[in-house]
Structure 1
Amino acid sequence: MIEKRRRKRHGSHIFLITLILTIALGSVVLGCSMIWAVGSPQLVAVKLESQLANLVEDVQAAESVLASAQSAKPVGKYDALLADEALCRQQNIYAKTAASPNETTIVFAGDILFDDHYAVKVKMNQRGRGIEGSISQEMLDVMRSADIFMVNNEFPYSDRGTPTENKKFTFRAKPEYASYLLDMGADIVSLANNHAYDYGKIAFLDTLDTLNGIGMPYVGAGRNLEEAIKPVYFIVNDQKIAFVAATQIERTENPDTKEATQNSPGVFRCWNVDKLLEVVANAKQVSDYVIVYIHWGTEATDQLDWAQKDQAVKISNAGADLIIGDHPHVLQQFGYCEDTPVMYSLGNFLFNSKAQDTCLVKLTLDANGFKSLQFIPGRQQDCSVTMLHGTEKERVLSYMRKISPGVTIDGDGFVTKKG
């Protein structure tokens, strides 16, 4: 449709230019004829010079019209919305320029941790190279080159607060460490997890302020329920993509990680899934695609639990186009709910000292919709992450095929639905 509009405008401009030149040339011919009829050579020369000067001006004007026509950009369906900066800020809408005008790439990673008292940050400090010393260049290239890169930020940023009483693991990172997100190439983070509130309300609010301070969009948490449930929207290549995040962990009536309410800060909890379904459905009405990043499942197992299976179907039916899960700290299967792809758990990405398999998941969109979905195998080992190749890559792909009976995964990691 955009190409058709462009051709139509181009044809109109050609017609206008032709008309201008025809009229101008006709004026010259008519003027010359009248002058010759008078019979004065001097008058002929003067008038002819004037007519030719006018013709040159008309040609220059025609060239200007053509140049403007060729440089004009097609009108996008979201141009008017993007022109209203105040409305975009209010609705969490961000404009992105894609690396390619023909497709949009979105990459997802799992859990990260930058707490000074845990192994990943200790090793990072020892190496003295920041993110560059902890994530391989190959992985960073994929993350940084993505039009949108999303990761699970499983800790607060603060120098304040006290650890949650009787909680086995509590995490907190210095506010300045938020810059690592920028170094990784992150464009958006999820705070919908069971560690965002580890150091209480004050550290939680510091986290929101810290992320706002570096211009990092976040989903799944906020100063109140309205903010916590609000999607983030990216408009890329004239497509509007909604990101929603929620957590069903911890599954108790009085969780350590506080739930956002109408007048108190916290995370977007979805143990009762009704509100999440409402948010997804509403986002679908105003977006081309809806992506749900959800904290769910049982830790340390590749087996899906009943709540994952139950909610995946409901979230898909509500309008989600892709579901990405985390929390189990290990890889879980790919599946489909009707036509909605589900990656049930991305596993740890850069989280602890364990040697374990990890991944990036890369979604590519084009003008027709989903172009491809790719599983990129990686390895977390010695507190760093590398991309896998050869027999190690095939080992992880074979494992994913084994635990994902409903999909086909080819040798390059591209995932398609069976049947």
Structure 2
Amino acid sequence: MFKRILVIMLVFSLVAFKLSDEFLIKNELDYSGVIFNEEFKTEDDYLNVLLIKGDKDFVCHNKNDFKKQDFLIEKDLSFLKVGNTVPVIINESKEDLENFLDSLSCKKHILFTQFDFVEHDFFNEYVVNNIKDMDKLKVDCPLCLYGVYYFSEKCGKDKYEFSDSNLYFKSQGRSLNDNKKFLFVGDMMFDRGVNLLMKNNDDYNYPFLKINDYLTKVDTLVSNLEGPIVSNMTFISTHSMSFNFDKRMAKVLKDNNFQVLSLANNHTSNRGYSGLLETRKFLKENNLDYVGEPDGCSLDDIIIKDDIIFYAVNKTFVFNCSDDEIVSNIEKLSKDKFLIMLVHWGDEYVHNASLSQTELAHKMIDAGADLIIGGHAHVIQNIEKYENKLIFYSLGNFIFDQYFSKETQQGLMVGLEFKNGKEVYTLFLTEEEKAQPFFVKDSAELFRWLASISSDDLKTEIEKGEIIIYPQD
């Protein structure tokens, strides 16, 4: 028997309303209503509008003169088979909206909303999961979205699911809160030219201004911190190969939602052991987890978050961490948890992993690693599937000042979700402009190139920007 659905939320345009109409007819719902965000232009401004289907004499909340807009309402809802729809203006008051929704009947009304989300479903789901925290919602009508959440919770319909075309709350079902979103980005460096840009713009958040909305839409954000954070930063030159970052960067990283930072690279020790200690201190003060060390590969600095283990190693120093030592450490870790290896390795500025990288990657997976995320090459490298596990040999640069080639200003972001036993990897391509990463708009050609240098059995998925790893028996 079909379970009555209380609230349906629709994203984007009239196509969504067609889908909602089909949904209502298919499931024979006997009541309906609308929370609808649209720009009904008045002579003075644009209004966010709430439309409710219910009693004919229902009183509008902050009702305005909608006679001039009647034709717009009729047009936009012409194929939605509901009647007695009442338009309601949503003002800026969250409390007023709650009071209004408290007056609605859970048995007589169903609500719809239309609004603009962020661009990709990977981030959309996180917005819905955090719907109650309205201040963090990046949609064109956060109060419309909050109203749906509030009314659903009031009526005891607080479980929700996500699909490509609509979102709906229902009384039973698995909550998306069971799904954690991980996002991996490439190497980050905040010295030299990046430091000058931050100072010239008087903003240490400058590198993240074009990408922040997306970074804050995940549960765990992971990167490689390519240098130490120190109390007395020393600027040498824009060509120096010795890095150090201003102490304010720790808070900036926290504010941009970073949770896990690898210190296992060839630059974290650029200010010596005292610089490494300061880095750990500033990260701890800002509740940022760090993993790994520039020298050595002990298990002292691993991170365990729920059922995930992060283990980071630096293979750029010749005598640092033998393959056998790394494999032995992996074998000591719990096989009941998902092990993510963060590895700094390989040759710079080449797009294909070396034989030694491939051999080590296979050894790590054979020993128990579930996912390998690599860095150091400063360019994107091939993706390999081995024993049903993924190896991202290099994500390239995320924030750097290597403006001498297009390839060193490109990066790969990898989103990871666990869904019904599957590992779902979503791929995003970024470019930098003056140390500010942003999403590549026309990414098809770059995905085709990445597919061409990667495992044959991944080519189709890489071109589509999504790789799914299914559990094996």
**TM-score range with shorter-chain normalisation?**
0.5 to 0.7
Secondary structure of 1:194's match?
coil
Larger Cα-atom Rg: 1
Task: Determine the structure 2 residue equivalent to 1:351.
Answer: 400
* Corresponding position of 1:85: none
- Return the offset for 1:201: 1.4
- 2:193 is aligned to 119
Q: What is the CA-CA distance between 1:129 and the residue it aligns to?
A: 3.9
CA distance in 1, matches of 2:186, 2:269: 18
Pick from 312, 319, 344 the counterpart of residue 368 of structure 2: 319
Classify 1:136/1:333 alpha carbon distance in 2 versus 1 (closer, same or farther; 3 Å): farther
Deviations 1:212-233 (A, max 9, x none): 111111111289875x643201
Q: Which residue of 1 aligns with 2:180?
A: 104
Give the drift of 1:192: 0.2
Residue 78 of structure 2 is matched in structure 1 by none
**Would you say 1:363 and 2:363 are equivalent positions?**
no
- Counterparts of 1:224 and 1:343 in 2: how far apart (Å)? 22
Which aligned pairs between 1:78-97 and structure 2 lie closer than 5 A?
Answer: none
Is 1:247 matched with 2:320?
no
In the other structure, the counterpart of 1:375 is 427
Determine if contact 2:185/2:223 at 8 Å carries over to the other structure.
yes
Structure 1, unaligned stretches of length 5 or more? Answer: 1-69, 71-98, 254-268
- SS of the residue aligned with 2:221? strand
Displacement after TM superposition at 1:387 (Å): 0.5
Q: Which has the higher contact order (CA 8 A, sep 6+)?
A: 1
Q: What is the alpha-carbon distance in structure 2 between the residues aligned to residue 411 and residue 222 of structure 1?
A: 35
Q: Deviations over 1:268-301 (max 9, x none)?
A: x43x12222232222233x421100100110011
Distance across 1 between alignment mates of 2:249 and 2:378: 22
Counterpart-to-counterpart distance in 1, 2:233 and 2:194: 22
By how many angstroms is 1:398 displaced? 1.4
1:134 maps to 2:171: no
Q: Deviations over 1:45-96 (max 9, x none)?
A: xxxxxxxxxxxxxxxxxxxxxxxxx9xxxxxxxxxxxxxxxxxxxxxxxxxx
Equivalenced residue count is 291
Indicate the RMSD between aligned Cα atoms, in angstroms: 2.9
Q: SS of 2:229's equivalent?
A: coil
Q: Deviations over 1:292-339 (max 9, x none)?
A: 010011001112112211100000011111100000000001111211
Aligned to 1:329: 378
Deviation at 1:410? Answer: 4.9
Secondary structure of the corresponding residue to residue 379 of structure 1: strand
CA distance in 1, matches of 2:274, 2:328: 29
Q: Aligned in 2, Cα 1:114/1:410: closer, same or farther, shift over 3 Å?
A: closer
Gaps of 5+ in 2: 1-155, 157-174
Q: Which residue of 1 aligns with 2:303?
A: 232
8 A contact 1:219–1:245 mirrored in 2 = yes
The one-letter code matched in structure 2 to 1:295 is: H
Question: Residues 163 and 283 of structure 1: is their aligned pair in 2 closer, same or farther, counting only changes over 3 Å?
Answer: farther
User: TM-score normalised to the size of structure 1?
Assistant: 0.64
Classify 1:351/1:379 alpha carbon distance in 2 versus 1 (closer, same or farther; 3 Å).
same
Q: Match for 1:171 among 215, 236, 243? A: 243
TM-score, length basis structure 2: 0.57
The structure richer in helix per residue is: 1
Determine the structure 2 residue equivalent to 1:403: 453
Please state how far the C-alpha of 1:394 moved relative to its aligned partner: 1.2
Superposed counterparts of 1:138-149, under 5 Å: 139-149=211-221
**Are the aligned partners of 1:160 and 1:199 in contact in 2 as well (CA < 8 Å)?**
no
Give the letter aligned to residue 277 of structure 2: L
